[in-house]
Amino acid sequence: MRWLITLGTLLMAAATQTAAAGPLDLRVITFNIRYAAPGDNYEKPWSTRGPVVIDWVSETTANATAAGAVPVVGMQEVLHEQLVDITAGLGSAWSYIGTGRDDGKEAGEYCPIFYQPDQVKLLNTTQKWLSKTPDVPSYWPGAGSRRYVLVAVFEDQATGTRFIAANTHLDNASSEARSEGVKIVLSAIRDVQTHWGPDLPVTLSGDFNSEPGQDAYAGMIADGYLQDSYTLADEQARFGPYETYTGFVPDEIPDVSARIDFIWVGPDATWDVTRYEVVDNDVDGVYMSDHRPVFVDITL
Protein backbone atom coordinates (compact mmCIF):
# COMPACT_ATOMS: atom_id res chain seq x y z
CA MET A 1 0.00 0.00 0.00
CA ARG A 2 2.89 2.28 0.73
CA TRP A 3 3.63 2.98 -2.95
CA LEU A 4 0.00 4.00 -3.48
CA ILE A 5 0.17 6.55 -0.69
CA THR A 6 3.48 7.80 -2.04
CA LEU A 7 2.00 8.10 -5.52
CA GLY A 8 -0.97 9.98 -4.08
CA THR A 9 1.34 12.36 -2.26
CA LEU A 10 3.35 12.93 -5.42
CA LEU A 11 0.22 13.62 -7.44
CA MET A 12 -1.00 16.09 -4.85
CA ALA A 13 2.37 17.81 -4.84
CA ALA A 14 2.23 18.03 -8.63
CA ALA A 15 -1.27 19.51 -8.46
CA THR A 16 -0.11 22.13 -5.95
CA GLN A 17 2.84 22.94 -8.19
CA THR A 18 0.54 23.45 -11.17
CA ALA A 19 -1.81 25.63 -9.16
CA ALA A 20 1.06 27.73 -7.85
CA ALA A 21 2.19 28.35 -11.41
CA GLY A 22 -1.33 29.45 -12.47
CA PRO A 23 -2.07 33.04 -13.39
CA LEU A 24 -2.97 35.59 -10.75
CA ASP A 25 -5.32 38.45 -11.57
CA LEU A 26 -5.37 41.46 -9.25
CA ARG A 27 -7.44 44.62 -9.20
CA VAL A 28 -5.33 47.19 -7.37
CA ILE A 29 -6.99 50.43 -6.31
CA THR A 30 -5.41 53.64 -5.04
CA PHE A 31 -7.74 56.21 -3.51
CA ASN A 32 -6.92 59.32 -1.50
CA ILE A 33 -10.28 59.68 0.21
CA ARG A 34 -9.50 63.09 1.81
CA TYR A 35 -9.42 63.33 5.58
CA ALA A 36 -12.72 64.08 7.32
CA ALA A 37 -12.60 67.86 7.07
CA PRO A 38 -15.67 69.86 8.14
CA GLY A 39 -16.58 70.47 4.50
CA ASP A 40 -17.05 73.70 2.66
CA ASN A 41 -18.79 74.81 -0.50
CA TYR A 42 -18.54 71.78 -2.82
CA GLU A 43 -16.82 69.64 -0.18
CA LYS A 44 -19.48 67.70 1.70
CA PRO A 45 -18.72 66.38 5.19
CA TRP A 46 -17.53 62.78 5.61
CA SER A 47 -21.01 61.81 6.82
CA THR A 48 -22.16 62.50 3.25
CA ARG A 49 -19.03 61.46 1.33
CA GLY A 50 -18.30 58.31 3.33
CA PRO A 51 -21.24 56.18 2.18
CA VAL A 52 -20.48 57.12 -1.45
CA VAL A 53 -16.82 56.14 -1.04
CA ILE A 54 -17.77 52.85 0.62
CA ASP A 55 -20.38 52.03 -2.05
CA TRP A 56 -17.89 52.68 -4.82
CA VAL A 57 -15.17 50.53 -3.25
CA SER A 58 -17.66 47.72 -2.48
CA GLU A 59 -19.03 47.68 -5.99
CA THR A 60 -15.71 47.98 -7.79
CA THR A 61 -14.12 45.21 -5.73
CA ALA A 62 -17.22 42.99 -6.02
CA ASN A 63 -17.00 43.43 -9.79
CA ALA A 64 -13.35 42.37 -9.63
CA THR A 65 -14.18 39.28 -7.60
CA ALA A 66 -16.98 38.36 -10.02
CA ALA A 67 -14.41 38.53 -12.82
CA GLY A 68 -12.01 36.24 -10.94
CA ALA A 69 -9.62 38.98 -9.82
CA VAL A 70 -8.35 39.55 -6.29
CA PRO A 71 -8.98 43.09 -4.99
CA VAL A 72 -6.30 44.99 -3.05
CA VAL A 73 -7.15 48.54 -1.98
CA GLY A 74 -4.62 51.19 -0.95
CA MET A 75 -6.06 54.36 0.55
CA GLN A 76 -4.58 57.62 1.82
CA GLU A 77 -5.67 60.29 4.33
CA VAL A 78 -7.86 57.88 6.30
CA LEU A 79 -8.47 59.20 9.83
CA HIS A 80 -9.37 56.66 12.49
CA GLU A 81 -13.08 57.55 12.47
CA GLN A 82 -13.09 57.05 8.69
CA LEU A 83 -11.30 53.72 9.04
CA VAL A 84 -13.98 52.58 11.48
CA ASP A 85 -16.73 53.56 9.03
CA ILE A 86 -14.97 51.90 6.09
CA THR A 87 -14.31 48.60 7.89
CA ALA A 88 -17.94 48.52 9.05
CA GLY A 89 -19.18 49.46 5.58
CA LEU A 90 -17.07 46.92 3.65
CA GLY A 91 -18.11 44.16 6.02
CA SER A 92 -16.50 41.16 7.66
CA ALA A 93 -14.98 39.71 4.48
CA TRP A 94 -12.39 42.51 4.68
CA SER A 95 -9.37 43.19 6.86
CA TYR A 96 -6.87 46.02 6.81
CA ILE A 97 -3.30 46.76 7.80
CA GLY A 98 -1.59 50.07 8.55
CA THR A 99 -1.66 52.54 11.45
CA GLY A 100 -2.13 56.23 12.07
CA ARG A 101 1.01 58.03 10.89
CA ASP A 102 1.47 60.25 13.93
CA ASP A 103 1.90 57.63 16.67
CA GLY A 104 1.94 54.24 14.92
CA LYS A 105 -1.45 53.60 16.53
CA GLU A 106 -4.62 55.58 15.91
CA ALA A 107 -3.41 59.19 15.62
CA GLY A 108 -3.19 60.96 12.28
CA GLU A 109 -3.96 59.76 8.80
CA TYR A 110 -3.59 56.09 7.90
CA CYS A 111 -2.31 54.73 4.58
CA PRO A 112 -4.10 51.41 4.98
CA ILE A 113 -4.29 48.44 2.67
CA PHE A 114 -7.64 46.65 2.65
CA TYR A 115 -7.71 43.00 1.55
CA GLN A 116 -9.92 39.93 1.81
CA PRO A 117 -8.37 37.13 3.91
CA ASP A 118 -10.49 34.56 2.03
CA GLN A 119 -8.69 35.59 -1.13
CA VAL A 120 -5.20 36.38 0.12
CA LYS A 121 -3.29 35.33 3.21
CA LEU A 122 -1.24 38.05 4.87
CA LEU A 123 2.30 36.75 5.46
CA ASN A 124 4.09 39.90 6.57
CA THR A 125 3.60 43.60 7.21
CA THR A 126 6.42 46.11 7.35
CA GLN A 127 5.78 49.80 8.00
CA LYS A 128 8.63 52.32 7.61
CA TRP A 129 8.43 56.05 8.20
CA LEU A 130 9.93 58.20 5.45
CA SER A 131 12.50 59.82 7.71
CA LYS A 132 15.99 59.26 9.06
CA THR A 133 14.47 57.14 11.86
CA PRO A 134 12.13 54.87 9.85
CA ASP A 135 11.21 52.53 12.71
CA VAL A 136 9.42 55.20 14.75
CA PRO A 137 6.80 57.81 13.83
CA SER A 138 8.91 60.71 12.56
CA TYR A 139 9.30 63.51 9.99
CA TRP A 140 11.74 64.05 7.20
CA PRO A 141 13.30 67.44 8.13
CA GLY A 142 11.08 70.12 6.56
CA ALA A 143 8.21 67.75 5.75
CA GLY A 144 4.66 68.92 6.41
CA SER A 145 3.63 65.63 8.01
CA ARG A 146 4.95 62.31 9.21
CA ARG A 147 4.84 59.91 6.26
CA TYR A 148 5.23 56.17 5.90
CA VAL A 149 5.21 53.29 3.48
CA LEU A 150 3.34 50.10 4.25
CA VAL A 151 4.68 46.93 2.62
CA ALA A 152 2.70 43.68 2.76
CA VAL A 153 3.50 40.17 1.58
CA PHE A 154 0.40 38.29 0.47
CA GLU A 155 -0.20 34.75 -0.73
CA ASP A 156 -3.07 34.15 -3.11
CA GLN A 157 -5.27 31.47 -1.51
CA ALA A 158 -6.28 29.90 -4.82
CA THR A 159 -2.88 29.56 -6.48
CA GLY A 160 -0.34 29.89 -3.66
CA THR A 161 1.30 32.72 -5.61
CA ARG A 162 2.97 35.34 -3.42
CA PHE A 163 3.22 39.05 -4.15
CA ILE A 164 4.11 42.32 -2.43
CA ALA A 165 1.61 45.18 -2.18
CA ALA A 166 2.87 48.52 -0.88
CA ASN A 167 1.03 51.78 -0.25
CA THR A 168 2.20 55.30 0.58
CA HIS A 169 1.43 59.02 0.62
CA LEU A 170 4.36 61.33 -0.05
CA ASP A 171 4.72 64.74 1.54
CA ASN A 172 2.80 67.73 0.20
CA ALA A 173 5.09 70.44 1.57
CA SER A 174 8.68 69.44 0.81
CA SER A 175 10.13 68.37 -2.53
CA GLU A 176 13.19 66.98 -0.76
CA ALA A 177 10.97 64.91 1.54
CA ARG A 178 9.28 63.43 -1.53
CA SER A 179 12.53 62.66 -3.35
CA GLU A 180 14.13 61.12 -0.28
CA GLY A 181 10.83 59.45 0.54
CA VAL A 182 10.87 57.59 -2.79
CA LYS A 183 14.32 56.20 -1.94
CA ILE A 184 13.11 54.95 1.44
CA VAL A 185 9.95 53.45 -0.10
CA LEU A 186 11.96 51.53 -2.70
CA SER A 187 14.57 50.39 -0.22
CA ALA A 188 11.83 49.15 2.17
CA ILE A 189 10.27 47.14 -0.66
CA ARG A 190 13.67 45.76 -1.71
CA ASP A 191 14.40 44.72 1.89
CA VAL A 192 11.13 42.81 2.05
CA GLN A 193 11.98 41.16 -1.26
CA THR A 194 15.35 40.11 0.06
CA HIS A 195 13.69 38.32 2.95
CA TRP A 196 10.61 36.98 1.21
CA GLY A 197 11.80 36.13 -2.26
CA PRO A 198 13.71 38.10 -4.87
CA ASP A 199 11.22 37.08 -7.56
CA LEU A 200 8.08 38.37 -5.84
CA PRO A 201 6.02 40.66 -8.04
CA VAL A 202 5.34 44.11 -6.59
CA THR A 203 2.59 46.72 -6.69
CA LEU A 204 3.01 50.18 -5.14
CA SER A 205 -0.02 52.44 -4.84
CA GLY A 206 0.00 55.98 -3.61
CA ASP A 207 -0.54 59.70 -3.73
CA PHE A 208 2.91 60.98 -4.73
CA ASN A 209 2.07 64.70 -4.65
CA SER A 210 4.21 64.85 -7.76
CA GLU A 211 3.28 64.88 -11.43
CA PRO A 212 5.06 63.00 -14.21
CA GLY A 213 8.45 64.69 -14.67
CA GLN A 214 8.49 66.19 -11.17
CA ASP A 215 10.61 65.22 -8.14
CA ALA A 216 9.12 61.98 -6.79
CA TYR A 217 7.96 60.70 -10.17
CA ALA A 218 11.36 61.46 -11.70
CA GLY A 219 12.99 59.58 -8.81
CA MET A 220 10.85 56.52 -9.53
CA ILE A 221 11.74 56.62 -13.23
CA ALA A 222 15.45 57.19 -12.54
CA ASP A 223 15.49 54.18 -10.22
CA GLY A 224 13.71 52.07 -12.81
CA TYR A 225 12.72 49.29 -10.42
CA LEU A 226 8.95 49.73 -10.90
CA GLN A 227 6.95 51.03 -13.84
CA ASP A 228 3.98 53.39 -14.00
CA SER A 229 0.97 51.20 -14.88
CA TYR A 230 -0.45 54.09 -16.93
CA THR A 231 2.59 53.94 -19.22
CA LEU A 232 2.50 50.14 -19.42
CA ALA A 233 -1.18 50.04 -20.39
CA ASP A 234 -1.97 50.11 -24.09
CA GLU A 235 -3.89 53.21 -25.11
CA GLN A 236 -7.05 51.11 -25.68
CA ALA A 237 -6.71 49.75 -22.14
CA ARG A 238 -6.80 53.21 -20.51
CA PHE A 239 -10.18 54.53 -19.36
CA GLY A 240 -11.46 57.71 -17.75
CA PRO A 241 -9.91 61.15 -17.41
CA TYR A 242 -6.14 61.69 -17.24
CA GLU A 243 -5.90 63.73 -14.05
CA THR A 244 -6.34 62.10 -10.64
CA TYR A 245 -6.47 65.19 -8.40
CA THR A 246 -9.24 67.68 -9.05
CA GLY A 247 -9.90 69.55 -5.82
CA PHE A 248 -13.50 70.08 -4.84
CA VAL A 249 -14.18 72.28 -7.82
CA PRO A 250 -16.62 72.04 -10.66
CA ASP A 251 -15.21 71.86 -14.17
CA GLU A 252 -15.85 75.53 -15.00
CA ILE A 253 -13.51 76.81 -12.26
CA PRO A 254 -9.82 77.26 -13.27
CA ASP A 255 -8.07 73.96 -13.50
CA VAL A 256 -6.02 72.70 -10.55
CA SER A 257 -6.15 69.13 -11.73
CA ALA A 258 -3.07 66.91 -12.05
CA ARG A 259 -2.03 63.26 -12.28
CA ILE A 260 -0.38 62.61 -8.90
CA ASP A 261 -1.87 59.23 -7.85
CA PHE A 262 -0.10 56.18 -9.22
CA ILE A 263 -0.01 52.42 -9.23
CA TRP A 264 3.53 51.23 -9.93
CA VAL A 265 4.17 47.61 -10.89
CA GLY A 266 7.23 45.47 -11.39
CA PRO A 267 9.97 44.59 -11.26
CA ASP A 268 10.68 44.21 -14.97
CA ALA A 269 7.84 42.94 -17.14
CA THR A 270 6.25 40.85 -14.37
CA TRP A 271 2.72 42.20 -14.77
CA ASP A 272 0.49 42.60 -17.77
CA VAL A 273 -1.74 45.68 -17.36
CA THR A 274 -5.07 44.78 -18.94
CA ARG A 275 -6.98 47.83 -17.70
CA TYR A 276 -6.04 51.22 -16.24
CA GLU A 277 -8.88 53.46 -15.15
CA VAL A 278 -9.32 56.83 -13.48
CA VAL A 279 -12.85 57.08 -12.09
CA ASP A 280 -15.03 60.19 -11.84
CA ASN A 281 -15.12 61.48 -8.25
CA ASP A 282 -18.39 63.33 -8.83
CA VAL A 283 -21.14 60.83 -8.06
CA ASP A 284 -24.58 62.38 -8.64
CA GLY A 285 -23.35 65.77 -7.46
CA VAL A 286 -21.38 64.55 -4.42
CA TYR A 287 -17.60 64.61 -4.68
CA MET A 288 -16.35 61.40 -3.10
CA SER A 289 -13.02 63.14 -2.51
CA ASP A 290 -10.77 65.82 -4.00
CA HIS A 291 -8.99 62.92 -5.72
CA ARG A 292 -10.36 60.46 -8.22
CA PRO A 293 -9.86 56.78 -7.48
CA VAL A 294 -7.53 54.93 -9.83
CA PHE A 295 -7.52 51.20 -10.44
CA VAL A 296 -5.67 48.68 -12.57
CA ASP A 297 -6.38 45.11 -13.58
CA ILE A 298 -3.09 43.28 -13.75
CA THR A 299 -2.14 39.68 -14.54
CA LEU A 300 1.03 37.80 -13.71
Q: Which residues bind ligand NAG (CB under 6 A)?
A: 56, 59-60, 63, 124-126, 144, 172-173, 191-192, 195
| Minimum distance, C-beta of residue 10 to ligand NAG, in the bound complex (Å) | 32
Which CB sits closer to ligand NAG, 221 or 241? 241
Which CB sits closer to ligand NAG, 134 or 221? 134
**3-26 burial by CB neighbour count: b if 16+ within 10 A, else e?**
eeeeeeeeeeeeeeeeeeeeebbb
Which CB sits closer to ligand NAG, 56 or 264? 56
| Minimum distance, C-beta of residue 279 to ligand NAG, in the bound complex (Å) | 7
Which CB sits closer to ligand NAG, 135 or 255? 135
| Minimum distance, C-beta of residue 231 to ligand NAG, in the bound complex (Å) | 23
Which CB sits closer to ligand NAG, 185 or 192? 192
| Minimum distance, C-beta of residue 270 to ligand NAG, in the bound complex (Å) | 19
Residue number of the CB closest to ligand NAG reads 195
| Minimum distance, C-beta of residue 204 to ligand NAG, in the bound complex (Å) | 16
| Minimum distance, C-beta of residue 60 to ligand NAG, in the bound complex (Å) | 4
Which CB sits closer to ligand NAG, 147 or 259? 147
| Minimum distance, C-beta of residue 77 to ligand NAG, in the bound complex (Å) | 8
Which CB sits closer to ligand NAG, 196 or 272? 196
DSSP sequence for the chain: -HHHHHHHHHHHHHHHHHHHHS--EEEEEEEE-------BTTB--HHHHHHHHHHHHHHHHHHHHHTT-EEEEEEESB-HHHHHHHHHHH-TT-EEE--BTTTSSSSS-B--EEE-TTTEEEEEEEEEESSSSTTSS-PPTT-SS--EEEEEEEEETTT--EEEEEEEE--SS-HHHHHHHHHHHHHHHHHHHHHH-TT--EEEEEE-S--TTSHHHHHHHHH-SSEEHHHHS-GGGEES-S-SB--S--TTSPP--B--EEEEEESTT--EEEEEEE--SEETTEES-SB--EEEEEE-
